[in-house]
With several copies, the nearest count.
Chain A
Amino acid sequence: MTYPVALAELIEEFQAVDDKRERLEMLFELADEVVELPSEEWNDDTRVRGCQSEAHVRIQVAEGRIEFLSAADARLVQGLMGILTLAIDGMAPAQALLIPPQFAEEMGLLNTLTPSRSNGFRNMFDKVMNEIRQSTEG
Chain B
Amino acid sequence: MSLRDEFPILQRQVNGHPLVYLDNAATTQKPQIVIDAMNDYYSQSNANVHRAVHTLAGEATEGYESCRIKLKQRFNAQRAIITSGTTEAINLVAHAWGRANLSKGDSIVLTEMEHHSDIVPWQMLAEERGVEIRYVPVTQHFTLDMEAFTHALDGAALVCVVHTSNVLGVRNPLESIIEQSHAAGAKVLIDAAQGVPHAQIDFTAFGADFMAFSAHKMCGPTGIGALLVQPDVFEQMEPFMGGGDMIETVTIEGSTYQTNEHKFEAGTPRIAEAIGWTAALDWMETFDISAEHDRLIKIASWVAKSLRDLGMNVYGRHEDGDAAVVSFLHPTINSEDMAHLLDARGFAVRTGHHCAQPLLHRLGISGTVRASFYIYNTREEAEAFVSEIKEIVERFA
Contacts and interface: CB of A to CB of B under 8 A. Distances in A.
Interface string A48-86: 000011000000000000000000011111000000000
Contact of B334 (A24, A73, A112): A73
With most chain A CB atoms within 10 A of its CB, the pick from B15, B51, B336 is: B336
A18 to B, nearest CB: 8
Contacts of A21: 15, 341, 344-345
Interface in B5-46: 15-16
B58 interface: yes
Contacts of B351: 52
A53 B367 CA distance: 9
B53 interface: yes
B334 A74 contact: yes
Contacts of B396: 28, 75
Interface in A2-51: 18-21, 24, 28
A75 B334 contact: yes
Contacts of A53: 334-336, 366-367
B58 A114 contact: yes
Interface residues of A, number: 19
A75 B51 contact: no
A117 interface: yes
With most chain B CB atoms within 10 A of its CB, the pick from A75, A114, A115 is: A114
Contacts of A52: 51, 53, 336, 351-352, 367
A116 interface: yes
8 contacts: A28-B337, A53-B367, A75-B337, A77-B336, A113-B58, A114-B57, A114-B61, A115-B62
Nearest to B345: A21
B52 interface: yes
B50 interface: yes
A83 B341 CA distance: 19
A75 B338 CA distance: 10
B334 A20 contact: no
Contacts of B151: none
Complex A-B, nearest 10 residue pairs according to Cβ-Cβ distance, in ascending order: A114-B58, A21-B344, A20-B344, A74-B336, A74-B334, A20-B15, A115-B61, A75-B337, A115-B62, A74-B337
Nearest to B353: A52
B65 interface: yes
Given A52-B51, A52-B336, A53-B336, A115 B65 contact: yes
A121 to B, nearest CB: 13
Interface in A80-138: 112-117
A117 B62 CA distance: 12
A73 B61 CA distance: 23
B193 to A, nearest CB: 22
Interface string B200-239: 0000000000000000000000000000000000000000
Contact of A24 (B50, B51, B340): B340
B54 interface: yes
B58 A115 contact: yes
B248 to A, nearest CB: 9
B170 to A, nearest CB: 25
B336 A76 contact: yes
Contact of A114 (B54, B345, B367): B54
B179 interface: no
A21 to B, nearest CB: 4
A22 to B, nearest CB: 8
B65 to A, nearest CB: 7
B61 A24 contact: no
Contacts of B62: 115
A58 to B, nearest CB: 21
Interface in B311-360: 334-337, 340-341, 343-345, 351-352
